[in-house]
Structure 1
Amino acid sequence: MKFTIDKHEKYVIIQPHVELLDGDTAPKIKSEFLLQNTGGQRNIVLDLSHVLDADSTGLRTVLLAHRLCKAAGGVFIVTHANDPIKKLITVCNLDAVLSIVSDNIGAEDVIFMTEIEKELRGAVEEG
């Protein structure tokens, strides 16, 4: 399975080049989430531009990435999710758990706002 990894200072974008995020492809993405997270990345963006659909295995992998980022004090964001994927997320009542934004620029905005909030809270707690 092919995917693109685009590393930035505060986050990494992982973009799978598959049409279906399922039991065959999800383990490879899961490995990459774990590798990035243990390598110090606490903010991960999953760009679903090429993904047309997902199943429960793919969704569990997305939830794992969310938990990894949250445990590290970061955020996990899904971008470019199409309507079938958004519907699956909603049907599974995960739309309140997962951060879904339309594009990578929106994800970057969320990440930087979260980082600023953490810095401000740290400054208030110190003061």
Structure 2
Amino acid sequence: MISFNAANIQKEVVDPLFLEWESLSQQIHQAHDERNGLAHTLMEQGIALYERLIVKTSSDSSEELIEGEDYEVLPLNGKERLSFIKARPGQYACYRQLDELFKETKKRLARLRLKK
């Protein structure tokens, strides 16, 4: 398991990524409402943002998410859920799942900050 990096889970470091997700999330939701075909592309950006968050908060020096590895910052079943999302990024259910992963990861990071 790849542990977290205590310095990189601080609010000052991760909050900009969560703010970026909030903005992107609204765009994805609107794209699904309008059925304009942009949701797939926006979701790919959201997936990349989530992976960047996981990599940034981990203690590993890798620049990209390592497939098959467990990360301490991932929520319950996070690896499997992310695989599901990546397989079908254009589906509304995957957007909801990614949104939940961001929320759960934010809570997990807060717990890990208290733990350290």
TM-score by length of 2: 0.30
Higher strand share: 1
**Structure with the larger RCO, 1 or 2 (CA within 8 Å, 6+ apart):** 2
More helix by share: 2
> TM-score if structure 1 supplies the norm length?
0.28
